[in-house]
């Protein structure tokens, strides 16, 4: 908790004194917040979970006239039902929201709403709003969201203290902007072929768990669900889960939930997807025999990828290879593929296999460090080891590799150099706090 608080303080200090955000300031804030989440393993990188929300956002964005951002979706390991946008087009969806939605129309409605906030630049709208709801406030809300996963009371306290000021200011801000975003979302949902009734269904169920509390339910700054339902004037209809929804839910259950909860939730899935979720769980637990038994009869690409991973773990590398090469889309199966390639002497192919997953998995970063070292690419090796030790909180070792990597500056691109400097700044600031 002390480490988390240190990073929170660092973010708030960085935000002081900013009165109105330029696009460059938005980008800086977004990068620092993402680094904070990465430092505490709060971001989900499994493509089985992140790909569908991102594809949904892309589909919605295609209907926007002159989008001002490339909207990027992130999934947070937080069980509350929540979603929010931060500067520079970043949209965050909590794990709890993915477990709460009942079809892709509801997912699209939530994403469309947050894209509305971004497209209409509600956070940095104008100088006067920014004076009342400052960048420090924004980061305080975000940091409070982070803390809530560690300590709900501390998180809520930070959110409310960060919002601060007049209750009327906060509610006026939320009413106007939330209703604008709801209207924006409804427009792009229709244009992209989603059913706008998804938001009404989502809010109706949310209202049943939120009750009549004086605290707005949906990211605290949102108006009461009942008020938003009335303004939408849309019949809720019924949910329509399809194969994409079931695959997403199966992945969340199998890859992220505890065994007891995964077993309980999987019972409500169609049989094929129940076997998929349990096969993913058994894979995560290292029980390859049971995982293979569950996955073998599942006619889905995801099941084939994890069959390959489990065959690899059993030592059947030749049998695993085609599954991993053809169907693997995320860090786990790709790491197994890279290790087969390494064993076959295909060093560069192994590096190319893992490079897209750098920074998404500590095991991938460590393996990349070894691969780059064996390929005599010392600068990139130090970068990978710096990321590995950063994610494992071994800050002394991370700083050592950051400094070593920067001695190979001519071999690194500007993005990597900036990433290293941001990591170094974050570590030093956390130590001071």
Q: Report DSSP letters for 355-376, one per residue.
A: GGGTTT-HHHHHHHHHHHHHTT
> Quick check: 328 pLDDT over 60?
yes
Q: Is residue 247 part of a domain?
A: no
> Quick check: 220 pLDDT over 50?
no
3-class DSSP assignment, residue 73: strand
- Count how many domains the chain has: 2
> Quick check: 46 pLDDT over 70?
yes
Q: Is residue 245 part of a domain?
A: no
Identify whether residues 55 and 186 lie together within a single domain. Answer: yes
End of a domain among 183, 213, 232? 232
Identify whether residues 314 and 172 lie together within a single domain. Answer: no
Residue scoring higher pLDDT (134 or 286):
286
Identify whether residues 277 and 337 lie together within a single domain. Answer: yes
Q: What is the structure's pLDDT at 174?
A: 59
Q: What CATH number did the domain enclosing 384 receive? A: 1.25.40.10
Distance CA 83, CA 106 (A): 12
Identify whether residues 187 and 324 lie together within a single domain. Answer: no
Beta sheet of 83-86, edge-to-edge order: 43-44, 72-76, 90-94, 83-86
Identify whether residues 96 and 159 lie together within a single domain. Answer: yes
Q: Across residues 231-254, what is the average pLDDT?
A: 87
The pLDDT confidence band at residue 162, using thresholds 50, 70 and 90, is: very low
Which of 113, 115, 111, 101 shows the shortest CA–CA distance to 248? 101
Identify whether residues 228 and 269 lie together within a single domain. Answer: no
Give the chain's end-to-end CA distance (angstroms, integer).
Answer: 13
Distance CA 395, CA 191 (A): 48
Q: Where are the alpha helices (DSSP H) in 192-270?
A: 197-210, 225-232, 243-256, 259-266
CB 329 within 8 A of CB 47: yes
Q: Across residues 84-92, what is the average pLDDT?
A: 87
* DSSP structure class, residue 410: G
The pLDDT confidence band at residue 231, using thresholds 50, 70 and 90, is: low
Q: What is the structure's pLDDT at 75?
A: 96
Q: Is residue 254 part of a domain?
A: no
Identify whether residues 222 and 337 lie together within a single domain. Answer: no
CB 234 within 8 A of CB 196: yes
Q: Across residues 65-92, what is the average pLDDT?
A: 89
Distance CA 311, CA 292 (A): 8
Distance CA 361, CA 357 (A): 7
Question: What residue numbers bound the domain in which 129 lies?
Answer: 2-232
Identify whether residues 224 and 269 lie together within a single domain. Answer: no
Q: Is residue 423 part of a domain?
A: yes
Q: Across residues 230-234, what is the average pLDDT?
A: 56
Q: Is residue 205 part of a domain?
A: yes
The single residue listed with the structure tokens 């989440």 is: 37
Identify whether residues 119 and 43 lie together within a single domain. Answer: yes
Distance CA 250, CA 75 (A): 15
Q: Is residue 401 part of a domain?
A: yes
End of a domain among 211, 232, 253? 232
Q: Across residues 148-152, what is the average pLDDT?
A: 48
Distance CA 29, CA 267 (A): 42
> Quick check: 109 pLDDT over 70?
yes
Q: Across residues 172-196, what is the average pLDDT?
A: 81
The single residue listed with the structure tokens 């329509």 is: 240
- CA quadruple 371, 377, 382, 387: dihedral sign: negative
3-class DSSP assignment, residue 65: coil
CB 205 within 8 A of CB 194: no
Identify whether residues 36 and 121 lie together within a single domain. Answer: yes
CB 21 within 8 A of CB 87: yes
> Quick check: 266 pLDDT over 80?
yes
The DSSP element (H or E) to which 83 belongs, if any, is: strand 83-86
pTM of the model: 0.82
Distance CA 408, CA 396 (A): 19
3-class DSSP assignment, residue 16: coil
Q: Is residue 211 part of a domain?
A: yes
End of a domain among 232, 254, 284? 232
Identify whether residues 142 and 217 lie together within a single domain. Answer: yes
Burial class (CB in 10 A: 0-12, 13-18, 19+), 357: buried
Q: Is residue 259 part of a domain?
A: no
Identify whether residues 331 and 199 lie together within a single domain. Answer: no
């Amino acid at each position: 908790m002390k480490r988390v608080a240190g990073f929170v303080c660092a973010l708030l200090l960085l935000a002081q004194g900013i009165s109105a955000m330029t696009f460059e300031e938005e980008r800086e804030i977004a990068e620092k917040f993402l680094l904070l989440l990465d430092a505490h393993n709060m971001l989900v990188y499994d493509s089985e979970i992140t790909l569908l929300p991102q594809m949904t956002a892309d589909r919605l964005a295609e209907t926007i006239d002159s989008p001002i951002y490339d909207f990027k979706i992130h999934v947070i390991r937080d069980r509350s039902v929540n979603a929010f946008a931060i500067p520079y087009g970043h949209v965050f969806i909590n794990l709890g929201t993915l477990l709460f939605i009942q079809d892709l129309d509801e997912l699209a409605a939530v994403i469309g709403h947050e894209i509305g906030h971004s497209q209409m630049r509600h956070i940095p709208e104008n100088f006067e709003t920014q004076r009342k709801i400052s960048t420090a406030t924004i980061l305080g809300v975000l940091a409070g969201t982070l803390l809530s996963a560690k300590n709900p009371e501390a998180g809520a306290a930070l959110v409310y203290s960060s919002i601060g000021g007049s209750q009327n200011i906060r509610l006026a801000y939320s009413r106007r902007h939330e209703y604008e975003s709801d209207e924006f979302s409804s427009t792009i949902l229709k244009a992209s072929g989603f059913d706008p009734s998804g938001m009404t269904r989502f809010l109706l169920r949310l209202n049943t768990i939120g009750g009549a509390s004086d605290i707005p339910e949906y990211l605290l700054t949102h108006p009461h669900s009942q008020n938003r339902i009335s303004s939408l004037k849309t019949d809720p209809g019924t949910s329509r889960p399809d194969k994409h929804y079931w695959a997403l839910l199966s992945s969340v259950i199998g890859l992220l939930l505890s065994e007891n909860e995964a077993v309980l939730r999987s019972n409500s899935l169609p049989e094929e997807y129940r076997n998929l979720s349990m096969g993913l769980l058994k894979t995560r637990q290292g029980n390859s025999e049971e995982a293979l038994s569950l996955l073998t009869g599942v006619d889905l690409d995801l099941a084939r990828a994890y069959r390959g991973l489990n065959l690899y773990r059993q030592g059947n590398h030749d049998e695993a290879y085609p599954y991993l090469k053809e169907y693997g889309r995320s860090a786990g199966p790709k790491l197994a593929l890279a290790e087969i390639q390494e064993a076959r002497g295909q060093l560069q192919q192994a590096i190319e296999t893992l490079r897209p997953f750098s920074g998404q998995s500590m095991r991938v970063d460590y393996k990349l460090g070894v691969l780059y070292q064996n390929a005599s690419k010392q600068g990139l090796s130090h970068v990978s080891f710096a990321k590995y030790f950063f994610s494992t909180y071994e800050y002394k070792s991370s700083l050592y590799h950051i400094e070593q990597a920067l001695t190979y500056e001519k071999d690194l691109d500007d993005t990597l150099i900036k990433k290293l400097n941001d990591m170094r700044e974050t570590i030093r600031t956390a130590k001071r706090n």
